[in-house]
Amino acid sequence: MSRYAIGMDVGGTSARFGLLSETGEVLFQTSCPTGLAATGAELLDQFRQGVREALASARDRRVTVSGVGIAMPAFVDDQGAVAGSCNLPGLNGVAVARVLESEFRLPVGMENDVSAGAYGEYYFGEHAGSSRRMLFLSIGTGIGGGMIVDGKLLRVAQGCLGDPGHVIVDPSGQAPCRCGGNGCLEAVASGWALVEQAQRMGINAIPREIFEGARAGHAALAELARRAAIYTGVGLATLCVLFNPDLVVLGGGVAAEAGESFRRQAERTLRAHAVPFFSRQVKVRLSQAGPAAGLLGAAALILFQATG
Ligand SMILES: [Zn+2]
């Protein structure tokens, strides 16, 4: 008999709720608005409503829900509370999982969204297969990462892999980062960094347009995309000698838009820079999870017991 879980993918403007099976099928979906101005109490009310709807859908289908998994765009502290969220400040200090657990009397797990994404990729992704040590690098507006070792999340700092988007790849001092550092991978290869670099060349473009322009032969945009891929490879070279993954999966919206040539360049650069012992075996692949990635990751926390 298949097992089912509710996945809750929380974002800065909306939260999505899904009823998912252990094969990754999404049987029901709903969403609610979130936002910078929302208070913790307002957000919790929205979350309760979303979970209630997903549970009602499970009842209609006569399936039993094993629990609720939450992917949160923030760190989760030792007490299980949301920490350091810039997008949803109303939730800082709120132990969302515990609140929902006592309300619905179901197991509720909560992880940083990139950690949940790594978990989802490991269990649902088509590349994970026999991987024992998978590094998931999420390249979206920002860059984050998660590492799964023998089916478990590696917790290095902040309850997760820390901030691998902020490994230094450019020591020139010309790439100030939003974290306060300078030369971070995120400052040269993330969605926001690509937009800013294009602007400095007099081009107003979102990442999708930058990669489309690059593919269409626009020389400056092609160089921008190539440099982002090279820096990603340099960042991966550092991460690989530390964590020794056998598989790197590039996820997130910007990686999906960047596509296969970006992946190839990043993999080539990784192999050219990292010690062969660490770089010879590792494969770099693009995530195929698509828009359901967040829900899959959240549900995987329950279906494959990442937390606790
Ligand atoms: Zn940084």
d(CA 134, ligand 1 centre) in Å: 23
- Give pLDDT, residue 307: 52
pLDDT for 193-230, tens place per residue? 999 999 999 999 999 999 999 999 999 999 999 999 99
Q: Flag whether 125 is in a domain.
A: no
Q: Is residue 124 part of a domain?
A: no
- Residue 160, pLDDT score: 87
> 216 and 281: one domain?
yes
**Low-confidence stretches of the chain (pLDDT beneath 50):** 308
**Domain assignment of residue 224, given as a range:** 130-288
pLDDT value, residue 236: 98
Q: Are residues 32 and 73 in the same domain?
A: yes
Instruction: Establish if 123 belongs to a structural domain.
Output: no
Instruction: State the pLDDT at residue 292.
Output: 87
Tell me if 308 is assigned to some domain: no
Q: Are residues 277 and 296 in the same domain?
A: no
Residue 299 shares a structural domain with residue 247: no
Same domain assignment for residues 114 and 141: no
Looking at the fold, whether 134 and 271 belong to one and the same domain comes out as yes
CA of 14 to the centre of ligand 1 (A): 25
- Output the CA 269–ligand 1 centroid distance in Å: 21
Instruction: Indicate if 283 and 296 belong to the same structural domain.
Output: no
- Within a domain: 243: yes
Judgement on whether residues 111 and 167 belong to the same structural domain of the protein: no
Do residues 182 and 299 both lie within one domain? no
Total domains in the chain come to 2
Identify the pLDDT of residue 308.
44
Q: Which residues contact 222 (CB under 8 A, 6 or more apart)?
A: 213, 214
Supply the pLDDT for residue 215: 97
Cβ contact 70:91 at 8 Å: no
Ligand 1 mean position, distance from CA 181 (Å):
5
Q: Which residue has the tokens 């100030």?
A: 176
Instruction: Say what the pLDDT of residue 157 is.
Output: 84
What local confidence, expressed as pLDDT, does residue 306 receive? 60
169 touches 185 (CB < 8 A): yes
Confidence at residue 289, expressed as pLDDT on a 0 to 100 scale: 87
Tell me how far the alpha carbon of residue 179 lies from the centroid of ligand 1, in angstroms: 4
* Single-letter residue type at 69: G
Reference 268, options 240, 232, 243, 238; nearest CA is 232
Distance 167 CA to ligand 1 centre (A): 7
